[in-house]
Every structure is written in structure tokens, then in C-alpha cells.
């Protein structure tokens, strides 16, 4: 299991477009991937799940992965969030 915390950089947070990029990236990995905000954990490969967290800019989230490529999954998702989704 690999776990990292990251601050959402873009102002609008994980709304539809950035959430779609996040989910597409999560789906590139074989590992199970979750995103957690304030004790709520959802499947990072589910658009409705990620959107249901209502993640705004400046929010601290936790990315968790378990499986064969867990470290790469977490590292790449953290990089994507830190990049601000190129917005």
C-alpha cells in the first residue's frame, strides 16, 4: 500500500475537466486507487466518486494505491494534482 498527501493547486479544484484527467490517469494503472478527503474515501477511477468529494482548490487530499504498480500510480497522480491540471 502506497499513500501520499497532496494539496490541490488549481483554484477550482477537481471539477469535471480536471477530475476527468485524474480518473483517466488513475485508470492507466492495474492497482486499486483511492482518493480520500476528510475521512471519506472513494474509488479514484470513478468520476461520480471523485466529484462527490467536492474537492476545491487549496484542499488537502490523500491518494492511496494498492497493487503491482502502486508507487508509480501514486507518484504520477500526485504530480498531476501538483501541476494544477495545466489550468
When divided into structural domains, the chain yields a total of: 1
Residue among 3, 7, 4 at smallest CA distance from 81: 7
Cell of 4: 501520499
Residue 15: active-site member: yes
Confidence of residue 85 (pLDDT cuts 50, 70, 90): confident
Q: What is the mean pLDDT of residues 67-75?
A: 98
Q: What is the extent of the structural domain holding 51?
A: 2-86
CATH no. for residue 74? 3.30.1340.10
- Choosing from 4, 15, 62, 72, the catalytic residue is 15
pLDDT of residue 36: 97
For residue 54, the number of C-alpha atoms closer than 13 Å in the C-beta half-sphere is: 2
Cell of 5: 498527501
pLDDT digits (tens, 9 = 90+) for 25-51: 999 999 999 999 999 999 999 999 999
The answer to whether 7 and 60 are in contact (CB under 8 A) is yes
pTM confidence score = 0.93
The answer to whether 68 and 49 are in contact (CB under 8 A) is no
Q: What is the mean pLDDT of residues 14-21?
A: 91
pLDDT of residue 87: 59
Give CA–CA dist 65/79, Å, rounded. 15
Amino acid at each position: 500500500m502506497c499513500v501520499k498527501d497532496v494539496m490541490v493547486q488549481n483554484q477550482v479544484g477537481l471539477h469535471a475537466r480536471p477530475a476527468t484527467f485524474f480518473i483517466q490517469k488513475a485508470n492507466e494503472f492495474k492497482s486499486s486507487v483511492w482518493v480520500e478527503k476528510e475521512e471519506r474515501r472513494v474509488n479514484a477511477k470513478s468520476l461520480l466518486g471523485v466529484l462527490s468529494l467536492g474537492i476545491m482548490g487549496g484542499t488537502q487530499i490523500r491518494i492511496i494505491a494498492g497493487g503491482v504498480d502502486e508507487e508509480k500510480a501514486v507518484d504520477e497522480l500526485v504530480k498531476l494534482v501538483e501541476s494544477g491540471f495545466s489550468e
